[in-house]
Amino acid sequence: MSHIALIIVDLQNDYFPAGKWPLVDIEQTADNAAGVLAHFREQSLPIVHIHHEFPTEEAPFFVPGSEGARIHASMTPQESASEAVILKNNVNAFLGTRLHEHLQEQGIEQLVVVGAMSHMCIDAATRAASDLGYGVTVLQDACATHDQAFNGVTVPAAQVHAAFMAGLGFAYAEVTDTAAWLTQQG
């Protein structure tokens, strides 16, 4: 089990109720992710905090250096050799970052992915990780999104989330929930 790492994607202030881009059920998502984070810390397993900032001040959220772009207090990285923080400027956490190299240096083969948004950065990171040869588990109830609109139709967040989790579960990852995963860990 030592070849596993937790990837926490974009659990940042702008996704919470006081932020610029609040997600549906983000507090429960963060609570679930915090339980998984606590497990990884208790086991001294590697953790990677992914932190998104757009490259421009005109961004709708995650403006560089802003309070909204800070990692949420529930996920605050610890000063520890087993915790890394990687800044990204793209949807895909592997694109233009050292994420893959960092994981390779540690001999990581399996990833547990939590965070936001289900239909964007979770989807992109999971697909990229799988394509790079990692075994991936997505803890679906530790991921969140918001309603989406397409062609005049509003798609509720729960349906957006379900559709993306179904797609990832079909070919890219094991998709489960935090309670089931934590129970499996003993």
Positions marked active-site:
10, 88, 121
Residue 98 to residue 95: CA distance in whole angstroms: 8
Residue 24 to residue 88: CA distance in whole angstroms: 23
Cα–Cα–Cα angle for 183, 27, 99, rounded to 5 degrees:
70
Q: Tell the burial category of 60 from Cβ atoms under 10 Å away from its Cβ (0-12, 13-18, 19+).
A: exposed
